[in-house]
Amino acid sequence: MKVEVKKVDALKREMKFEIPREKVTEAMDSVYNEIGKHAKVKGFRPGKVPRHILATSHGQLAKDETIKKIIPQAYHEGIHEHKLNPIDLPEITEVNLKDGVLTFTATLDIRPEVKISDYKGIKVERKKNDVTEEEIQKTLEFFKKGRTDQEVTIDDNFAKGMGFPSLEEFKVALKRQLEFDKDRNNRMDIENQMVEELIKNAKLIVPQSLVKRQLYHRLNDALKRLKSQGMKDEELKAKAEELQKQLEPVVEREVRVYLILEEIARLEKITVNDQNESLPGKVIEFLLKEASWQEPK
């Protein structure tokens, strides 16, 4: 097998494969043996159809299956031989089986080198969870407006309608909910502080093939949601371009952060043993323990 590797850019590699006739013949013989076991040809029992008859009736299938059989094997041998570390599935093009020789091209992005420093002891500031009387009153104002644009009286009767014995009990529950919401938002804020520092302290080239694949899935999900909400096909087409522009920098940032967290996991030997666990989540948990916590201003 011949493999030529061309460096397209910092991460992209183009691999040209040439599989010799002997290997192709061996793979095709194996494919014909499998086809022959089940092929139904008039005048012959399954498993007893001569090869030249099979070639007439199932030649294209045999060719397609041979190509499917060889390409993955050859690709994995090629990246192992040339010590390449792909970050995603390759794009296979220029497939040609002629005169018993199979050629194809695999284009792939290799895993980038991630240089990360100062990821321990990141300074984070957690805001207070305290809920003020003013914040409670502001929330009550939303209730006061009501759903019918009419003023609602916030009193014991209103509280009973919400499932509480009195207005005071309702305010206690409301305060608890606001504290919970603040706590959750503060946690997200802390994680964002950490992520921003990690991005500042890391150097890497983001593989565009990975961004492209993630963007495709995110865009599809967003368009499906819009369609389920009643958006017409013409509107969806117009919306797709706008969404893509909005999502592209978001997705690129997410891929960048994931690669940074993955590198920290490698350096700190952090692994996931449970399918319900998330590697980024475990790394964030580790970084929070190592962080330098600042008093809220």
147 band by pLDDT with thresholds 50, 70 and 90? low
pLDDT of 248 > 80? The answer is yes
62/55 Cα distance (integer angstroms) = 8
77 band by pLDDT with thresholds 50, 70 and 90? very high
pLDDT in tens, 111-144: 999 999 889 999 999 888 889 999 999 998 888 8
Q: Which residues contact 67 (CB under 8 A, 6 or more apart)?
A: 95, 97, 102
- In DSSP terms, 2 is beta-bridged to 18
Phi, psi of 86 (to 5 degrees): -65, 150
pLDDT for 36 equals 84
pLDDT above 70 coverage of the chain, percent: 98
Q: Provide the whole-model pTM.
A: 0.78
pLDDT for 241 equals 87
39 band by pLDDT with thresholds 50, 70 and 90? confident
- What is residue 111's DSSP assignment? P
Please state, as a whole number, how many other Cβ atoms lie within 10 Å of the Cβ of residue 215.
20
94 band by pLDDT with thresholds 50, 70 and 90? very high
| Rg (the chain; Cα; Å) | 30
How confident is the prediction for the chain on average, in pLDDT?
Answer: 91
pLDDT of 101 > 70? The answer is yes
